[in-house]
Amino acid sequence: SFDLNMGISTATSCSHLSPPLGTVKHQISKLVKISLAKCFPGDACIEPLVAICTNKFGDYQCNNAMGIWSKIKGKSTEFKNPNSVGQAIVRNLPQSEIIGSTSVAGPGFVNILLSDEWVAKSILNMLCNGIGTWAPVFDVKTAVVDFSSPNIAKEMHVGNLRSTIIGDSIAKMLEYSNVKVLRRNHVGDWGTQFGMLIRYLFEEIPDWEDANKNAIGDLQEFYKSSKRKFDADEAFKKRAQEAVVKLQKGEEQYRAAWEKICEISRNDFSQVYKRLKVEIIEKGESFYNPYIEGVLKKLDDLGLIKESEGARVIFIEGQTIPLIVVKSDGGFNYASTDLSALWYRINEEKAEWIIYVTDVGQSQHFDMFFSAARLAGWLPNNSIPKTNHVGFGLVLGDDGKRFRTRSSEVVRLVDLLDEAVSRCKQELTQRLENNGKISEWTDAEIAETAEAVGYGAVKYADLKNNRLTNYTFSYDQMLNDKGNTAVYLLYAHARICSIIRKSGKDMEELKKVGSIVLSHADERVLGLHLMHFAEIVEEACTNLLPNVLCEYLYNLSETFTKFYTSCQVVGSPEESSRLLLCEAAAVVMRKCFYLLGITPVFKI
Ligand code: ARG
C-alpha cells in the first residue's frame, strides 16, 4: 500500500551498481589525483591531501593548494596566489557522480559537498550488497595479532582480559578490511619456572593430577609454594634446575607433567574465550623454542651479539641497558623467544604487520626487541613488514588502586563476567515485570539478552577509553542504560529494529524496489555519518585505537535519535526511504557491535 516508485530514479535498483571501492576519502583522493596531474603535468606525482571537512561549506576538503603554492611561488606565471591553485584543482576535477558541488575558500582550500543522490545510492548499494562493500583497503595482506597470552599455571587476570578484548577487536577490524589475520595466543608455557613447579608437584603433591574442578586455582597456589621453596631450599633449587634440563631434553615423566599443567590452564583459559566468543590459536613460547638457536646464530653472524657480564646481549642505541638474549646461566628468555617468534612470523608465516597487545609496562621490552630486529634488517623503515606494540593501562577498582576482590586476591575472570551477566538478568527481569512485558519473553530469550548485554557492557567499558589510560571497573557505570554504555547502545539498536518491525514492511523487498531520498537536513546528516563508517574503521586500524570506533557508534546513535525526532518514519509520505535509512543505521550499528566483539540484541 505504499508508493514503491517514490523518489528519484537514479537511486533505485542497486543490482547494477558497482560497490564503492574503499573509503569516500579514498574515492575523492582519486579524483583529486587526476586533477593535480592535469594542473601540474610536470610534477610527477603530487599526493592528494583529502580530509573530512570541518566547516559547513563542505563534507570533504582538499588541502593541496597551500603546499603547492609555497613551492611554485615566484616561479609561476599561471598562478598568482593559493586561491588560484585551488580554483585550478576544481576546474580539472573529472566529472563524477560523487561530487555535488565545490567551492574554494580564501587560502585555496577546496570544499567538496557530496551529491545527495550519490550518498543515497551508496547507502542503498550497501544495503543490497552488504557492508563488506564499504570495507577500507590496506596494503597489508597478512597480519599477526598477538593478544591475550596468559601465563600457564597462573590464573588469567584483568590485564589478560584487556588484551583479549582489545586484541579481538583489532583482529576483527583488520579482518573486515580483508587482511588475513593470524590470531596468536603467545601463552607463557616455557621457562625455568616449570622445572620448579614440576619438582614441587612430584615431591609434595603426589595426587596433583586428580585435583578437581578448581585445579587452576590450586596450580597457582602450588606455583607460589614452589617459588617459596625454591628461594629457601638450596637442594630443592638444584633439583628444580635439573628438572628444567630434563624437561627441555624431553624426558618422558617431565614432559607429561608439563603437558598436564598446560592442559589444566588451557581448559581454564578456554572458559573465558568461550564466554567472550573469542577465537584465538595457541602458539605459546614453547613453539618457538626450536628456532631460538638458529635465530641467535643469524644475529651473531651479523655481529650484533656481544658478551656482557657473562650474558649474551644486543646493545641498542639510546637504551641504558642492553637486550639480554642468553642469560648468564646459558638459558634463553622472554626476549630470545620473542625474537624467534618475530623471525618465524615474518619468514614462515609471511606476516607483514605484527601487532602485540600487552600492558604498557612491557613497552621497553618491545621497543628493545623491535630495535634489535631493525638492526638485523628484518624491519625496514617506513615499509613492511612492520610491528606495533599496542599498550594499555591498568584496570582500577573503586579505590583507585589495581582492581582486586575484597579479599585482595586477583579477580577470577569467569566470576567477573558471570557477575555482569547475572546483574543484567536481574535488571532485565525487573524491568519486564514492571512494564508488564515479561510474558512476551521466553527464559531463553532473557538469558541470551542478559549475556549479550553483560559481556557487551564489560567489553565496551574497556574499549571506549583510549587504551593507554587506566580505567575504573564499575558494574554500576557499565550497566547504566543512559550515557555512553553498551546497554544504552544495544537498546538504541533494538529500538530501531522495533520501528522497522512495527512498520510491517518487508525490508528485503523494499531494498530491491525502494529508494532513498535525503530531503531533510537530519536525513542528510545521518546519511553522511553512515558514509564515514569505513574511514573510522580505517583510522581505528591505522592507529590501533578501538575507542575511535566506539565514539563513532555513540555518535551514530545520537545522530539517529536526532533524525528520528525530526523526521516521522512510519505513516509518513517518506516512509519507505526513511525505513531504508533506519535499516542502514541498524546495519552499521550491528557491524560496529560485531567489530567490538559485542552481540547485538533485537528486542527490548
Ligand atoms: N605472557 C605475557 C604476559 O602475560 C604476554 C605475552 C605477550 N606476547 C609476546 N609476544 N611477548 O605478560
Dist. CA 246 → ligand 1 center (Å): 25
Cα–Cα separations (whole angstroms), residue 135 to 25, 131, 416: 12, 7, 34
> Atom 9 in ligand 1: which residue has the minimum CA distance?
186
Cβ atoms within 10 A of the Cβ of 230, count?
A: 21
> What does the pLDDT average to over 141-167?
94
Tell me what pLDDT residue 219 has.
83
Tell me what pLDDT residue 215 has.
60
Question: Which ligand 1 atom is at minimum distance from the Cα of 341?
Answer: 10
Query: Which distant-in-sequence residues (6+ apart) come within 8 Å of 342 by Cβ?
Result: 354, 369, 373, 378, 387
Question: Which ligand 1 atom is at minimum distance from the Cα of 285?
Answer: 10
Give the strands of the sheet with 142-146, arranged side by side: 281-282, 180-185, 142-146, 353-359, 386-392
Of 194, 358, 365, 367, the one to substitute when testing ligand 1's pocket (max ligand atoms within 8 A of C-beta) is 358
| CA 42 to the chain's CA centroid | 42
The grid coordinates listed for 582 are 533506519
Distance (Å, whole) CA 254 – CA 238? 16
Cβ atoms within 10 A of the Cβ of 168, count?
A: 27
Question: Which ligand 1 atom is at minimum distance from the Cα of 188?
Answer: 1
Dist. CA 203 → ligand 1 center (Å): 30
Kindly state the helix (H) or strand (E) to which residue 548 belongs, with its residue range: helix 546-566
CB 127 within 8 A of CB 579: no
ipTM given for this complex: 0.99
Dist. CA 379 → ligand 1 center (Å): 20
pLDDT tens, residue by residue, 338-348: 999 999 999 99
Dist. CA 357 → ligand 1 center (Å): 8
> What does the pLDDT average to over 554-563?
98
Q: What average pLDDT does the structure give for the chain?
A: 92
CB 191 within 8 A of CB 427: no
Dist. CA 533 → ligand 1 center (Å): 32
Query: Which distant-in-sequence residues (6+ apart) come within 8 Å of 370 by Cβ?
Result: 379, 387, 389
> Atom 4 in ligand 1: which residue has the minimum CA distance?
150
SS (H, E, C) 188-221: ECCCCHHHHHHHHHHHHCCCHHHCCCCHHHHHHH
Tell me what pLDDT residue 403 has.
84
Dist. CA 196 → ligand 1 center (Å): 20
Cα–Cα separations (whole angstroms), residue 299 to 213, 314, 325, 402, 572: 46, 9, 10, 39, 71
Distance (Å, whole) CA 431 – CA 40? 65
Residue among 37, 14, 30, 24 at smallest CA distance from 115: 24
The grid coordinates listed for 559 are 545522530
Tell me what pLDDT residue 3 has.
33
Q: Residue 5 — pLDDT band, cuts 50, 70, 90?
A: very low
Distance (Å, whole) CA 358 – CA 184? 13
> Atom 11 in ligand 1: which residue has the minimum CA distance?
338
Tell me what pLDDT residue 155 has.
83
- Specify which residues 305 forms β-bridges with: 314
Q: Which residues line ligand 1 (CB under 6 A)?
A: 146, 149-151, 186, 188, 338, 341, 356, 358
CB 111 within 8 A of CB 53: yes
Cβ atoms within 10 A of the Cβ of 237, count?
A: 16
The grid coordinates listed for 256 are 607429561
Residue among 590, 594, 464 at smallest CA distance from 126: 590
Tell me what pLDDT residue 2 has.
35
Question: Which ligand 1 atom is at minimum distance from the Cα of 356?
Answer: 8
- Please, what is the angle between helix 215-232 and helix 252-276, to 10°? 130
pLDDT tens, residue by residue, 526-537: 999 999 999 999
Tell me what pLDDT residue 399 has.
86
CB 534 within 8 A of CB 132: no
Dist. CA 363 → ligand 1 center (Å): 11
- Specify which residues 589 forms β-bridges with: none
Dist. CA 293 → ligand 1 center (Å): 20
Distance (Å, whole) CA 583 – CA 577? 10
Dist. CA 186 → ligand 1 center (Å): 6
Dist. CA 358 → ligand 1 center (Å): 7
Of 151, 157, 186, 340, the one to substitute when testing ligand 1's pocket (max ligand atoms within 8 A of C-beta) is 186
pLDDT tens, residue by residue, 236-295: 999 999 999 899 888 999 999 999 999 989 998 999 999 999 999 999 999 999 999 999
Q: Using the structure block, give the residue that is written with the C-alpha cell 524491568.
A: 431
> Atom 5 in ligand 1: which residue has the minimum CA distance?
149
The grid coordinates listed for 406 are 575484597
Q: Which residue has the higher pLDDT, 468 or 55?
A: 468
Dist. CA 185 → ligand 1 center (Å): 9
Q: Which residue has the higher pLDDT, 78 or 584?
A: 584
Question: Which ligand 1 atom is at minimum distance from the Cα of 357?
Answer: 7
Dist. CA 239 → ligand 1 center (Å): 27
CA-angle at 49, arms to 69 and 21, nearest 5°: 145
Question: Which ligand 1 atom is at minimum distance from the Cα of 366?
Answer: 11
Q: Residue 179 — pLDDT band, cuts 50, 70, 90?
A: very high
Is the sign of the CA dihedral 431, 433, 437, 443 positive or negative?
A: positive
Tell me what pLDDT residue 115 has.
97
Give the strands of the sheet with 323-326, arranged side by side: 305-308, 311-314, 323-326
Residue among 48, 38, 45 at smallest CA distance from 93: 38
Of 362, 363, 394, the one to substitute when testing ligand 1's pocket (max ligand atoms within 8 A of C-beta) is 362
Question: Which ligand 1 atom is at minimum distance from the Cα of 362?
Answer: 12
pTM listed for this prediction:
0.93
Residue among 196, 306, 326 at smallest CA distance from 261: 196
Dist. CA 546 → ligand 1 center (Å): 20
> What does the pLDDT average to over 555-582?
97
> Atom 8 in ligand 1: which residue has the minimum CA distance?
186
Cα–Cα separations (whole angstroms), residue 183 to 143, 145, 248, 349, 381: 9, 5, 27, 12, 25
The grid coordinates listed for 233 are 631450599
CB 80 within 8 A of CB 72: no
Of 149, 345, 363, the one to substitute when testing ligand 1's pocket (max ligand atoms within 8 A of C-beta) is 149
Across 4-160, the runs of DSSP E, i.e. the strands, are 50-52, 60-62, 99-104, 110-114, 142-146
Query: Which distant-in-sequence residues (6+ apart) come within 8 Å of 562 by Cβ?
Result: 522, 525, 526
Q: Using the structure block, give the residue that is written with the C-alpha cell 593548494.
A: 65
Distance (Å, whole) CA 88 – CA 367? 46
Question: Which ligand 1 atom is at minimum distance from the Cα of 338?
Answer: 10
pLDDT tens, residue by residue, 189-222: 998 889 999 999 999 988 777 755 456 567 888 8
Dist. CA 312 → ligand 1 center (Å): 22
